[in-house]
């Protein structure tokens, strides 16, 4: 890809001013970072580069080999992947990896061009790191919580672009977190995935995250999503390892922590905002999620 002036400014401080030759030119927009494009062959583990790319309708990658290991994550759009002659459908929430000696072809759907994160890395420890995530070894896998995976990619990007001497070390640790998160959130039974159940999970999760201020109970969630409470619990347990109500409570308490830290509101006032008529119930819920009582949280975190 020939870098535009804006893309040149996006490069990490002190690194490069244009993308390397193995980046595709068929992208509409891109945010890249570069940590070490000339890693030593003896390095244990090192992040080379990565970023976020919005594919053009004609985006296509064909490689018989690649210098590094790569983990890619589809944030939006659709496409097709072929790894070692095996085809996979690409859609939001799908993660896949390849490495040296892995023939691969990545093609976007021209009617719904993909946006995807990627990270390239190398080192003697890279195969062992990937071996810790069985789903990635199988090819492409759907994750049940795409935002949790995307957040790690974004944190790697932010850390890489600081130019700090510890940026590489931080990104190496975040790469390990990324692999573990994918392993945690990978949907079981990929070949026979229950598409209807997965769709129900995503719809219910989105509903909770958008309407957590007004939802109060599991029954409220079930009525809003038009599903049986027991069925929603089974779906959440399968795809997220938690329950709809636990996810609702975490949304509420995340909001509560932000309000308690960044305002002068009393605990009772924040509890009222979130529909807790009993401040003691609110305090117990806050401590269950954050492992600290709200009053203690205020004492330690409120900005003066």
**pLDDT per position as a tens digit, 215-272:** 999 999 999 999 999 999 999 988 878 899 999 999 999 999 999 998 999 999 999 9
**Is residue 190 scored above 60 in pLDDT?**
no
Q: Length of the chain in residues, anyone?
A: 304
> What would the pLDDT profile of 79-135 be if each residue is shown by its tens digit?
999 998 899 999 888 999 999 989 999 999 999 999 999 999 999 999 999 998 888
pLDDT value of residue 4? 32
With cut-offs at 50, 70 and 90, classify the pLDDT of residue 165.
very high
Beta-carbon contacts of residue 256 (< 8 Å; ≥ 6 apart): 270, 271, 274, 282, 286, 294
C-alpha distances (whole Å) from 278 to each of 215, 273, 281 are 16, 12, 5
What is the CATH topology of the domain spanning 5-191?
Answer: Jelly Rolls (2.60.120)
Residue 128 in tokens? 């062992």
Angstrom distance (rounded) from CA 180 to CA 185? 9
Domain 195-301 class?
Answer: mainly alpha
Angstrom distance (rounded) from CA 160 to CA 121? 13
C-beta atoms surrounding 134 within 10 Å: 11
Angstrom distance (rounded) from CA 114 to CA 90? 9
What is the bridge-based pairing of β-strands 79-83 and 86-90? antiparallel
Instruction: Give the pLDDT mean for 178-185.
Output: 93
With cut-offs at 50, 70 and 90, classify the pLDDT of residue 303.
low
C-beta atoms surrounding 66 within 10 Å: 17
Angstrom distance (rounded) from CA 188 to CA 194? 10
pLDDT value of residue 304? 56
pLDDT value of residue 217? 95
> What would the pLDDT profile of 197-209 be if each residue is shown by its tens digit?
888 988 898 899 8
User: Where are the domain boundaries for CATH 2.60.120.280 in the chain?
Assistant: 5-191
CB 122 within 8 A of CB 107: no
User: Where are the domain boundaries for CATH 1.10.10.60 in the chain?
Assistant: 195-301
Q: What are phi and psi of 274, to 5 degrees?
A: -90, 5
């Amino acid at each position: 890809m020939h870098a535009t002036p804006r893309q040149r400014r996006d490069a990490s401080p002190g690194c490069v001013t244009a993308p390397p030759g193995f980046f595709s030119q068929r992208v509409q927009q891109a945010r890249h970072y570069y940590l070490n494009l000339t890693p030593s062959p003896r390095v244990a583990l090192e992040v080379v580069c990565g970023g976020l790319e919005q594919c053009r309708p004609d985006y296509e990658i064909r490689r018989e080999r690649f210098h590094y290991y790569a983990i890619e994550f589809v944030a939006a759009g659709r496409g097709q992947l072929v790894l070692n002659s095996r085809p996979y459908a690409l859609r939001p929430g799908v993660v896949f990896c390849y490495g040296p000696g892995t023939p691969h072809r990545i093609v976007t759907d021209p009617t719904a061009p993909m946006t995807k994160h990627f990270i390239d890395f190398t080192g003697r420890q890279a195969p062992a790191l990937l071996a810790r995530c069985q789903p990635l070894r199988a090819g492409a896998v759907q994750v049940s919580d795409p935002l949790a995976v995307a957040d790690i990619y974004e944190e790697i990007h932010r850390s890489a672009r600081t130019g700090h001497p510890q940026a590489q070390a931080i990104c190496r640790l975040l790469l390990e977190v990324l692999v573990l998160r994918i392993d945690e959130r990978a949907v079981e039974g990929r070949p026979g995935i229950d598409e209807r159940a997965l769709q129900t999970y995503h719809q219910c999760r989105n509903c909770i995250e958008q309407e957590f201020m007004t939802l109060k109970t599991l029954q409220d969630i079930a009525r809003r999503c038009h599903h049986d409470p027991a069925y929603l619990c089974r779906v959440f347990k399968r795809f997220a390892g938690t329950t709809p109500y636990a996810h609702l409570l975490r949304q509420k308490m995340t909001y509560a922590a932000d309000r308690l830290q960044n305002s002068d509101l009393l605990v009772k006032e924040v509890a009222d905002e979130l529909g807790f008529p009993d401040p003691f119930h609110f305090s117990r819920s806050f401590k269950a999620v954050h492992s600290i009582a709200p009053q203690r949280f205020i004492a330690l975190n409120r900005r003066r």
